[in-house]
A = this chain, B = another copy of it.
Amino acid sequence: MIAVVDQAIDTRAVADAVRDRRHGAVLVFEGVARDHHDGKQVVSLFYEAYVPMALREMEAIAADTRARWAGVSVAMVHRTGPCAIGEPSVVIAVGAAHRGEAYEASRHAIDELKRRVPVWKREHYADGSAWIANKV
């Protein structure tokens, strides 16, 4: 499952997409809208995506992850539009035979997503807003 959605992400569905009788570990990462950034109080987030290219990049990251860690399953869903504090903006699920590869593959997938998937984040504060880039 690779998707960009404009409503709340169903984390359980993302996790269920990677389940397999051969897997001993399922690791689910949720990137969640948090109420602060660089000392500023954040009221809400807004995500914008270049959707068709984002999907291509997410598919490429999933394929690369499966190639590096043979046998793992990967699902990734990113949200667009307004995202309230506490809600996930991205969910990545990885299933693997053993936990070591689940942790490595999951970390690789989220790091790559943050580096190259064309999605932009606007933080809203009490007194304005700003587009915030990921640290490279």
- Taking Cβ atoms with an 8 Å cutoff, the residues of A that contact B are 11-12, 15, 19, 21-36, 85-86, 88, 95, 97, 99, 102-103, 106-107, 110
Number of this chain's copies in the assembly equals 2
Given the known interface contacts A11-B12, A12-B12, A34-B97, the answer about A27 and B27 at a Cβ–Cβ threshold of 8 Å is: yes
Question: In the assembled complex, how far is the CB of residue A113 from the closest CB belonging to chain B, in whole angstroms?
Answer: 11
Can you report 17 residue pairs joining A to B where beta carbons are below 8 Å apart? A11-B15, A21-B34, A21-B35, A22-B34, A22-B35, A22-B36, A24-B32, A24-B33, A24-B34, A25-B29, A25-B30, A25-B31, A26-B29, A26-B30, A27-B29, A27-B30, A32-B95
The interface residues of chain A, by DSSP majority, are classed as mixed
Question: In the assembled complex, how far is the CB of residue A34 from the closest CB belonging to chain B, in whole angstroms?
Answer: 4
- Chain B residues near A12 (CB, 8 Å)? 11-12
Q: Are B24 and A31 in contact (CB under 8 A)?
A: yes
Q: Are A27 and B28 in contact (CB under 8 A)?
A: yes
Complex Cα–Cα for A41 and B107 (A): 30
Q: Are B88 and A31 in contact (CB under 8 A)?
A: no
Question: Nearest CB to that of A89 among chain B residues?
Answer: B24
